[in-house]
Amino acid sequence: MPEQKTNKLPQSFYQRPTLEVAPDILGKFIVYKAPSGRLSARIVEVEAYIGHNDPACHAARGMTKRNRPMFGPAGFTYIYFIYGMYHCLNFVTEPEGSPAAILLRAAEPDEGLEIMLRNSGKDSPRNLLNGPGKFCRAFGLTAEQNDLDLTDDVIYIEDRQEMIRNVQRSQRIGIKVGQDRRWRFYDGDSTAVSKGR
């Protein structure tokens, strides 16, 4: 038997303080077994949204139908619809009852490039996954993949033992409140991070 080099992250990875999980996710691989085939990408940019005291967090004003997954156990997807045309993928963190999640903002294509290009209507991998809306469009993720268990076999994160040499940190992008918190983490050596404003 060859040595197992890729491992699906367990629930215990997600069920930790969000600001510990967020930088740890960089360099891991998001895998989605789509109906059209297996897709994967190397995560290079994320943002943390944490609970009642974070005004930018969807859960800041209590539980609603939309943000319910954030209040559930760690290790589930939270996908929401925004601006009338885009979806964004989050990973729920912290124990049940502590609403928090990590937004996937950018990644580098790995497996299934042709499917991603087709989903996005592009002919080049340039700027394919460098934004939360663009990532979900390329992966074909919608509300149907909301609240899925990341320890199941449909969508999960793999650890391929890759190190990030240059973890950077900044303000979060695209929000009007909570700018004092520098909860955006990204791979400073990657050219695939989002553009910001």
Partner DNA sequence: TGAATGATGCGCT
Partner DNA sequence: GCGCATCATTCAT
Closest CA to 24 of 197, 164, 177, 193: 164
Q: Which window, 3-11, 22-30, 80-88, 181-189, contacts DNA (CB under 7 A)? A: 80-88
CA distance 142 to 125: 21
Instruction: Tell me, by CB under 7 A, how many residues bind DNA.
Output: 36
CA distance 103 to 11: 17
86 binds DNA (CB under 7 A): yes
CA distances from 184 to 57, 93, 167 (A): 13, 15, 10
84 binds DNA (CB under 7 A): yes
101 binds DNA (CB under 7 A): yes
127 binds DNA (CB under 7 A): yes
98 binds DNA (CB under 7 A): no
State in angstroms the smallest separation of the CB of 4 from DNA. Answer: 32
88 binds DNA (CB under 7 A): yes
Q: Which window, 12-20, 31-39, 151-159, 171-179, contacts DNA (CB under 7 A)? A: 171-179
Between residues 5 and 116, which has the closer beta carbon with respect to DNA?
Answer: 116
CA distances from 161 to 14, 30, 67, 104 (A): 17, 14, 32, 19
DSSP for 99-161, written as a single string: -EEEEEEEEEE-S-HHHHHHHHT-SS-TTSSSSHHHHHHHHT--GGGTT-BTTSSSEEEEE--
Between residues 127 and 151, which has the closer beta carbon with respect to DNA?
Answer: 127
82 binds DNA (CB under 7 A): yes
By the criterion CB under 7 A, which residues form the site for DNA? 47, 49, 56-59, 61, 64-67, 70, 78, 81-86, 88, 90, 101, 103, 127, 131-135, 172-176, 194, 197
